[in-house]
Amino acid sequence: MKFLYSCVLLLAVFAASQAYSSSWGKRNSTDILLSRQTEVRAPLKNSYWNINIDYPRPGTNSVYTITLVNVIDNFRNSSGATPSLWSGGPGYRYAQINLRSQVSRGLNSTIEIWGKY
Ligand SMILES: *[C@@H]1O[C@H](CO)[C@@H](O)[C@H](O)[C@H]1NC(C)=O
Ligand SMILES: *[C@@H]1O[C@H](CO)[C@@H](O)[C@H](O)[C@H]1NC(C)=O
Ligand SMILES: *[C@@H]1O[C@H](CO)[C@@H](O)[C@H](O)[C@H]1NC(C)=O
């Protein structure tokens, strides 16, 4: 029984690692949603998308401190893009997130930025 439980747990961990959703930081219940955007790209034959998402929008400033960066892969079938936090993020007032899709596959990812004043 215990062994079976361990197997299920391992499988769950494996399944989670197969989903291309990531988050950095931790959200407090009082934090506010600073930005939510969904990036959708059609597949490129034999190539991939490599895009950067900036918060706040280039040329603007944010007075909020980021607490959580949450990237949700809307494909949910392990063919989505891999997100990386390239700069900023939790503790900073800016963040740059990179999305890299798989070859010949598009992407549909939602980027949420949470923060506090
Ligand atoms: C969450 O926010 C409340 C109210 O601002 C604050 O008292 C608390 O310390 C915060 N918790 C964390 C983990 O930052
Ligand atoms: C992207 O994912 C969202 C959330 O699942 C969905 O509502 C939307 O239709 C998708 N967009 C495309 C172009 O597939
Ligand atoms: C994953 O889901 C997306 C959107 O539903 C679809 O376009 C894509 O073909 C799927 N990929 C695989 C490998 O099933």
User: Is 2 among the domain residues?
Assistant: no
> Which residue of 21, 45, 79, 101 sits with most ligand 3 atoms within 8 Å of its CB, as the best mutation to test the pocket?
79
* pLDDT tens for each residue of 86-111: 999 999 999 999 999 999 999 999 99
Domain extent, residue 28, equals 20-116
How many angstroms does the Cα of residue 117 sit away from the middle of ligand 2? Answer: 31
Which ligand lies nearest the alpha carbon of 68?
A: 1
H or E element, residue 99: strand 95-100
User: Is 96 among the domain residues?
Assistant: yes
Is the distance from CB of 80 to CB of 20 less than 8 angstroms?
yes
Note the pTM of the prediction, 2 decimals.
0.80
CB 77 less than 6 A from any atom of ligand 3 = yes
* pLDDT tens for each residue of 16-45: 444 578 999 999 999 999 999 999 999 999
User: Is 66 among the domain residues?
Assistant: yes
| pLDDT for the residue numbered 16 | 46
pLDDT grade for 3, boundaries at 50, 70 and 90? low
How many angstroms does the Cα of residue 45 sit away from the middle of ligand 2? Answer: 20
How many folded domains does the chain comprise?
1
* pLDDT tens for each residue of 49-79: 999 999 998 888 889 999 999 999 999 888 9
Distance CA 76, CA 67 (A): 25
Distance CA 111, CA 76 (A): 15
Is the distance from CB of 108 to CB of 80 less than 8 angstroms?
yes
User: Is 3 among the domain residues?
Assistant: no
How many angstroms does the Cα of residue 108 sit away from the middle of ligand 2? Answer: 6
